[in-house]
């Protein structure tokens, strides 16, 4: 049995082209980050990473990601359940609305939050008189991070849940199972891997967001600086090695993310093979 | 609940959780997505139609649309070909390092755009690893529109790979067996038999990549050179207006990008929906 | 079907982890928010980070000695305009130390800074100043000495975009001021000069540091134009053998205005601290630190100490050539104004 493109010459050519292009296009930038970060040796790298401001930036970045994930998770699951299990007018519009964060440039995303919750905004003005500060403090960073990351979980779940259909859940309903039981025992196991993939993507974006956060953070070193902002400042301060040291931390998070994802997919495919 | 069910007579809503999921979704979308967007339109309300038109059709801004759309189109096309190649290789062949290559595909999503921007600028500058090879050959990448397209292509390649890949995986082996048994060459069989199945996914992926490229700022700004009329992207024009405290003009230009992107996304969603329906209809 | 029991415990565990994580995280965040000591927030332009990192500990020590109180100083840096915008929108900075008079004026117009802020401190509330100067490559191969050398056919320049950077605006205004003098105010000749000048720009980065990177790291252009302080710092940072600093015989006076953001300082209970902090910038110690960062200062002792570092040059003020900052902004940098017209193709 022969399939299209199985001829050894075609095979070799295509694999070769794919590997070469990926190496140049994707792998090289990654290598460059680490090469730059370690260009002055381990000691300088370590001094840059263990700097108080860098450590604070790492902490803040991780906290923001940790707070963002559960919120996006609840929303993503609810929306996916809604648009794949029910049919109602406006479904397609709802599905497009969730893409807004993809359509809005991150700087604009930051701007619209600033216009609303900043001192001159109509909500921000009220908050200001009550001495509540959202913008230029961690809540503002959290808010814009949620904005830019909220589509990921839903976008992962919707195609999968659409493809799986709702027959299993409907069968459970006729057997008299409660909503929560159905979700926990039928839906969740089915969407588990997609859900985790969604979380991984959310986390990656939350950790790395720059444009939107830069507008609302105020960039107070040791207070409201996230790691991407800190990196940019180091770069601006002619500390390219320090900037790339921070960049390498972010790249490391990216790599861990990719590894986690690859691991999940491997597990999923093994399970499939077993069934 | 009952009233909602009446909207669609004939469909019986068996599954629970409609109210809850609708509540969460609508509340979230309203608070997180729509409410802030009203701020944008609040700014626009301060402009007369003529002023709005004057801002969004100003020469330099129009030039930035051209640069952005042109570079995004090139990036999307390149990604269409490159992404198809990668998806094909990842699905159809076994080779050492395949899992690694597969994982690498998501790198641009996982890597912060500012990091990508700084790194690409460093690599493709005339004294960078790539630039020092390319520039003597007459290819200048950094600080030209090629650099913009490159940064766009980098940040959006996963869209194409990840939409084409699953479709290719689901394609039953009989499809190409039939073509091959009829004696068609690889090229002809691919074009006639495989491509019709891949088109929708490929167009969707390329479309998403294009939309993503329209709004990208962080990755591009370092490599663009930002010369007026030549290498200024629209996101920079928004940034410039912000620097001038001109929120209304910034919002006006942002609204153009927003509308174009949303229209494209809506078109993609409708198209995708149609395709899914056709597919399911075909299979029975 | 899959194994629901496994998934349930698995899911519960992850939920628990997330909830715990969130609790710990919010506790950590709120504990950092509630700091013990008084903290002053200085909002400044983006290339002043090292400068204030050097000055702040000195001031903290001085304050401790004078008042026996330990204080913290936070710094926020960004483009001067972006910083002013952030304060307008609620960034609670106690003091501003900017590089653009207009950006302080924006705050004054909004009532966040006193109307007469320029009288609140000496020298127009500008504790130090600088001018626009050139950084050229080793041995100055293109022979660049003054502004008219920059419009030669084969000269490529790097300076930040006047649209996004105050630094870039100074460069533009300096070149215009030179041309105004050179051509006796003949508008057509000035505009021709400026058109060629702008055409010789190789890259328009959004900020001063970006321009430096383009010139130094990427090797673009024959000359980098920036603040005198900045080009000197760059030269000492990147090797004095590879670059030369040229201070043109005529250039613009660049003031670095400071002001107390009254309502914020009051709200933070920092009014006394804010006032003292800015006054401290005029002290001999601070002025010496400033001169060390290649800024020109007013303190006569310090000026004498650093005399060789700053070549004599004729500095004109924005007000001399353009009337006022407001008029300069209106006529040159507003949307559709002269800068846009000159760059039109």
Q: What is the CATH number of the domain that holds B138?
A: 1.10.3720.10
The answer, yes or no, to whether residue B278 has pLDDT greater than 70, is: no
Report residue C131: phi and psi, to 5°.
-145, 180
The C-alpha of B107 sits at a distance from chain C's nearest C-alpha, in angstroms, of 25
Contact (CB<8Å) C218/B243: no
- Tally of domains in chain B: 1
A132 touches chain B (CB under 8 A): no
> Taking a C-beta distance cutoff of 8 angstroms, is the pair A19, B97 a contact?
yes
Same domain, C229 and C151: yes
A154 touches chain C (CB under 8 A): no
A185 touches chain C (CB under 8 A): yes
B31 touches chain A (CB under 8 A): no
Give domain status of residue B9, yes or no. Answer: no
The C-alpha of A226 sits at a distance from chain B's nearest C-alpha, in angstroms, of 12
> Taking a C-beta distance cutoff of 8 angstroms, is the pair A65, A139 a contact?
no
Contact (CB<8Å) A128/C217: no
Per-residue pLDDT of chain C (345 residues; tens, 9 = 90+): 333 333 444 444 544 554 555 555 444 444 444 446 899 999 998 788 889 999 999 999 999 999 989 999 999 988 788 888 889 888 999 999 998 898 999 999 999 999 999 999 999 999 999 999 999 999 999 999 999 999 998 999 999 888 878 889 999 999 999 999 999 989 999 999 999 999 999 888 877 888 888 888 778 899 999 999 999 988 888 877 889 999 999 999 999 999 999 999 999 999 999 999 999 999 999 999 999 999 999 999 999 999 888 998 899 999 999 999 989 998 998 878 899 889 886
Report residue B53: phi and psi, to 5°.
-60, -40
Instruction: Give the pLDDT of residue A263.
Output: 80
Give domain status of residue C5, yes or no. Answer: no
Element (H, E) at C246: strand C243-246
Instruction: Give the pLDDT of residue C176.
Output: 95
Bigger pLDDT: A132 vs B85: B85
The three-point CA angle B230-B233-B235 to 5° equals 160
Query: Is 3.40.50.720 the CATH classification of the domain at A53-274?
Result: no
B105 touches chain A (CB under 8 A): yes
Instruction: Give the pLDDT of residue C4.
Output: 36
Give domain status of residue C221, yes or no. Answer: yes
Q: Cα–Cα distance between C77 and A89 in angstroms, integer?
A: 49
Closest-CA residue to A203 (of A144, A254, A139, A156): A254
Domains of chain A, by residue range, sit at: 53-274
Same domain, C110 and C199: no
Contact (CB<8Å) A236/C209: yes
Nearest to C204 among B227, B242, B243 (CB): B227
Tell me if residue C256 falls in helix, strand or coil: coil
Same domain, C197 and C247: yes
**Pairing between strand C128-137 and C296-297?**
antiparallel
Give domain status of residue C80, yes or no. Answer: yes
The whole domain housing C49 covers: 38-127+256-309
Instruction: Give the pLDDT of residue B275.
Output: 66
Neighbours of A241 (CB within 10 A): 18
Give domain status of residue B131, yes or no. Answer: yes
- Rounded average pLDDT over B16-32: 90
Q: Cα–Cα distance between C86 and C73 in angstroms, integer?
A: 18
Closest-CA residue to A57 (of A252, A205, A249): A249
Instruction: Give the pLDDT of residue C81.
Output: 81
- Tally of domains in chain C: 2
Same domain, C62 and C196: no
User: Which chain B residues are within 8 Å of C157, Cβ to Cβ?
Assistant: none
User: Which chain A residues are within 8 Å of C4, Cβ to Cβ?
Assistant: 184-186, 189
Same domain, C112 and C94: yes
Give domain status of residue C3, yes or no. Answer: no
Radius of gyration of chain B (CA): 23
> Taking a C-beta distance cutoff of 8 angstroms, is the pair C167, C160 a contact?
yes
Same domain, C243 and C261: no
What CATH number has the domain bearing residue C116? Answer: 3.40.190.10
Range in A147-161, A227-241, B80-94 the model is least confident about = A227-241
CB contacts under 8 A, B 174-193 vs A, are 176-177, 179-180, 186, 189-190, 193
Question: Over the stretch B100-139, which tens digit does the pLDDT of each residue have?
Answer: 898 888 888 878 888 888 899 889 887 888 888 888 888 8
User: Which chain A residues are within 8 Å of B95, Cβ to Cβ?
Assistant: 15
The C-alpha of C79 sits at a distance from chain B's nearest C-alpha, in angstroms, of 9
Q: What's the pLDDT band for B221 if we cut at 50, 70, 90?
A: confident
The three-point CA angle A250-C45-C200 to 5° equals 90
Same domain, C98 and C186: no
Same domain, C300 and C317: no
Give domain status of residue C139, yes or no. Answer: yes
DSSP-assigned beta bridge partners for residue C224: C135, C158
Instruction: Give the pLDDT of residue C2.
Output: 34
Same domain, C197 and C330: yes
CA atoms within 13 A on the CB side of A178: 2
> Taking a C-beta distance cutoff of 8 angstroms, is the pair C274, C40 a contact?
yes
Output the pTM of the full model: 0.82
Tell me if residue C94 falls in helix, strand or coil: coil
Instruction: Give the pLDDT of residue B7.
Output: 42
Element (H, E) at B109: helix B107-110
For A21, nearest residue in chain B (alpha carbons): B82
The whole domain housing B176 covers: 47-283
Contact (CB<8Å) C164/B239: yes
> Taking a C-beta distance cutoff of 8 angstroms, is the pair B193, B253 a contact?
no
CB contacts under 8 A, A 136-195 vs B, are 143, 146-147, 150, 162, 166, 169-170, 173-174, 178-179, 182-183
Provide the ipTM: 0.81
Same domain, C317 and C303: no
């Amino acid at each position: 049995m022969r399939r299209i493109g199985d001829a050894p010459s075609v095979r070799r050519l295509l694999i070769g082209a794919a590997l070469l292009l990926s190496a140049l296009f994707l792998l090289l930038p990654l290598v460059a980050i680490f090469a730059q970060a370690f260009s002055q040796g381990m000691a300088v790298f370590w001094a840059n990473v263990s700097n108080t401001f860098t450590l604070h930036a790492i902490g803040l970045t991780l906290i923001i990601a940790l707070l963002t994930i559960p919120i996006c998770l609840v929303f993503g699951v609810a929306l996916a359940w809604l648009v794949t299990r029910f049919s109602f007018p406006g479904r397609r519009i709802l599905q497009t609305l969730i893409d807004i964060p993809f359509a809005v440039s991150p700087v604009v995303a930051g701007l619209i939050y600033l216009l609303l919750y900043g001192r001159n905004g109509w909500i921000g003005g009220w908050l200001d008189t009550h001495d509540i500060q959202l913008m230029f403090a961690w809540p503002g960073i959290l808010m814009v991070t949620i904005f830019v990351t909220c589509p990921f979980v839903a976008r992962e779940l919707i195609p999968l849940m659409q493809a799986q259909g709702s027959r299993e859940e409907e069968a459970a309903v006729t057997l008299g199972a409660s909503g929560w039981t159905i979700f926990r025992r039928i839906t969740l196991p089915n969407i588990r891997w997609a859900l985790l993939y969604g979380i991984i993507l959310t986390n990656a974006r939350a950790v790395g967001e720059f444009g939107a956060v830069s507008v609302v953070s105020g960039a107070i070193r040791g207070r409201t600086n996230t790691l991407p902002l800190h990196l940019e400042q180091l770069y601006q301060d002619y500390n390219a090695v320090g900037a790339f040291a921070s960049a390498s931390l972010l790249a490391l998070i990216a790599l861990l993310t990719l590894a986690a994802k690859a691991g999940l997919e491997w597990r999923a495919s093994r399970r499939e093979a077993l069934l | 609940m009952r009233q909602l069910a009446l909207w669609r007579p004939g469909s019986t809503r068996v599954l629970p959780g409609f109210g809850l999921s609708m509540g969460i979704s609508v509340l979230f979308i309203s608070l997180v997505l729509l409410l802030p967007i009203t701020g944008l339109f609040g700014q626009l309300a301060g402009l007369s139609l003529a002023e709005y038109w004057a801002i969004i059709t100003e020469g330099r801004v129009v030039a930035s649309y051209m640069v952005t759309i042109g570079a995004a189109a090139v990036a999307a096309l390149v990604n269409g070909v490159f992404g198809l190649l990668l998806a094909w290789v990842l699905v159809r062949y076994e080779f050492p390092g395949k899992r690694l290559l597969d994982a690498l595909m998501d790198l641009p999503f996982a890597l912060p755009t500012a990091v990508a921007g700084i790194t690409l600028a460093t690599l493709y500058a005339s004294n960078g690893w790539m630039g020092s090879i390319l520039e003597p050959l007459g290819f200048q990448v950094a600080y030209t529109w090629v650099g913009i397209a490159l940064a766009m292509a980098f940040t959006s390649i996963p869209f194409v790979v990840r939409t084409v890949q699953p479709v290719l995986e689901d394609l039953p082996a009989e499809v190409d067996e039939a073509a091959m048994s009829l004696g068609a060459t690889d090229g002809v069989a691919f074009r006639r038999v495989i491509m019709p199945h891949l088109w929708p996914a490929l167009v969707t992926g390329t479309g998403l990549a294009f939309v993503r490229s329209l709004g990208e700022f962080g990755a591009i700004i370092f490599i663009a050179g930002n010369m007026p009329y030549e290498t200024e992207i629209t996101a920079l024009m928004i940034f410039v207006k912000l620097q001038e405290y001109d929120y209304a003009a910034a919002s006006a230009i942002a609204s153009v990008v927003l509308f174009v992107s949303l229209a494209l996304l809506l078109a993609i969603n409708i198209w995708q929906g149609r395709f899914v329906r056709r597919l399911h209809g075909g299979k029975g | 079907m899959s194994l629901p029991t496994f998934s349930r415990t698995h899911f519960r565990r992850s939920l628990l982890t997330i909830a715990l994580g969130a609790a710990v995280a919010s506790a950590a965040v709120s504990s950092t928010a509630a700091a013990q000591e008084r903290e002053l927030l200085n909002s400044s332009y983006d290339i002043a980070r090292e400068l204030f990192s050097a000055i702040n500990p000195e001031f903290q020590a001085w304050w401790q000695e004078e008042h026996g109180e330990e204080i913290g100083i936070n710094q926020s840096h960004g483009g001067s305009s972006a910083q002013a915008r952030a304060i307008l929108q609620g960034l609670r900075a106690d003091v501003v130390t900017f590089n653009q008079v207009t950006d302080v004026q924006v705050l004054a117009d909004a009532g966040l800074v006193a109307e007469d802020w320029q009288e609140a401190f000496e020298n127009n509330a500008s504790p130090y100043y600088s001018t626009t100067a050139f950084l050229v490559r080793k041995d100055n191969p293109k022979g660049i000495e003054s502004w008219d050398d920059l419009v030669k056919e084969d000269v490529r320049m790097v300076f930040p975009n006047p649209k996004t950077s105050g630094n870039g605006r100074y460069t533009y205004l300096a070149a215009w001021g030179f041309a105004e003098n050179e051509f006796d105010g003949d508008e057509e000749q000035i505009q021709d000069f400026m058109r060629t000048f702008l055409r010789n720009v190789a890259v328009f980065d959004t900020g001063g540091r970006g321009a430096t990177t383009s010139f130094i790291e990427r090797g673009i252009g024959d000359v980098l134009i920036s603040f005198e302080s900045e080009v000197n710092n760059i030269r000492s940072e990147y090797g004095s053998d590879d670059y030369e600093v040229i201070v043109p015989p005529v250039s613009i006076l660049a003031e670095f205005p400071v002001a107390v953001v009254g309502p914020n300082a009051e709200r933070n209970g920092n009014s006394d601290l804010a006032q003292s902090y800015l006054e401290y910038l005029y002290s001999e110690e601070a002025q010496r630190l400033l001169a060390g960062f290649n800024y020109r200062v007013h303190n006569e002792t310090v000026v004498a100490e650093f005399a060789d570092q700053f070549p004599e040059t004729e500095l004109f003020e924005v007000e001399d050539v353009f009337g006022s900052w407001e008029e300069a902004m209106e006529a040159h940098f507003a949307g559709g104004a002269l800068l846009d017209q000159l760059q039109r193709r």
